[in-house]
Amino acid sequence: MTIQGQSLKSQKEEKRIRMIQAAYELFSEKGVYKTSIDDIAKSAGVAKGTFYLYFADKTEIWEAVVVDISNRILAQAKKELERKSLPDMIERILFVADFIIEHFKKNLDDLKIVQRNFSWPLVLRKMNEAQDNTLLQMLEQCFCSPYLSRYTIEEAYRMMFLIVEMVGSICYTSILLEQPAPIDQMKPVLFHTIRKILI
């Protein structure tokens, strides 16, 4: 690739990032439903037509924002997990679940944008499209355990799918709505359930 080609590619990526950042800020301030594509384009300093060169519609940029938030949380969790060096696989998974919950408790805007969509299929699909292997590296860290030798890789991933979906849904209902109880009361129940799934 020529220097000019690289420069053009970096300009395109910079515009895309600007639009995602503008969408994040607007979704935080106004909510996803009250934010228009015009709002996002204007805030990012691009023409509305330029928006459509990068995203098909508001749902697509919202998905990009959700993946950006999810990836950021998972990257931080992975870094902390490496620092902790927990020997037990179940404790590693519970640590990651707790890290996600604590992040959302402190960052309600992130949770309001993500809603119930701190979700395996969307995050994994988008990370694969971007060839970002943060999630897969973290799964390898969690699953490098004799506990899981009786499971196939597919079975282990299905268990993690179930856990990620539970954590995302519980965060939304218990942190934002305090249903069926506040998150600190739900955590012991959630962690007990995760242990039962994994043992």
The distance in angstroms from the start CA to the end CA of the chain is 51
**pLDDT tens readout for residues 79-110:** 898 888 887 888 888 998 999 999 999 999 99
CATH number of the domain to which 71 belongs = 1.10.357
Is the same domain home to 35 and 86? no
Q: Is residue 112 domain-shared with residue 180, that is, in the same domain?
A: yes
Q: What is the pTM of this model?
A: 0.82
Number of domains present in the structure of the chain: 2
Q: Are residues 18 and 109 in the same domain?
A: no
**Same domain assignment for residues 110 and 42:** no
User: What is the spatial distance between Cα 65 and Cα 113, in angstroms, rounded to a whole number?
Assistant: 8
Can you tell me the distance from the alpha carbon of 49 to that of 35, in angstroms, rounded to the nearest whole number?
17
Which of residues 11, 30, 55 is at a domain's end? 55
pLDDT value of residue 168? 87
Pair (7, 63) in one structural domain: no
pLDDT tens digits along 52-82: 999 999 999 998 898 888 888 888 888 898 8
Q: How confident is the model at residue 139 (pLDDT cuts 50, 70, 90)?
A: low
Percent of the chain with pLDDT over 90: 46
84 Cβ contact list (under 8 Å, min separation 6): 95
Please identify, among 55, 75, 94, the residue that sits at the C-terminal boundary of a domain.
Answer: 55
Say if residue 124 is in the same domain as residue 93: yes
| Host domain of residue 120 | 58-198
Q: How many CB atoms lie within 10 A of CB 183?
A: 18
Q: Which of 51, 16, 17 is nearest to 35 (CA)?
A: 51
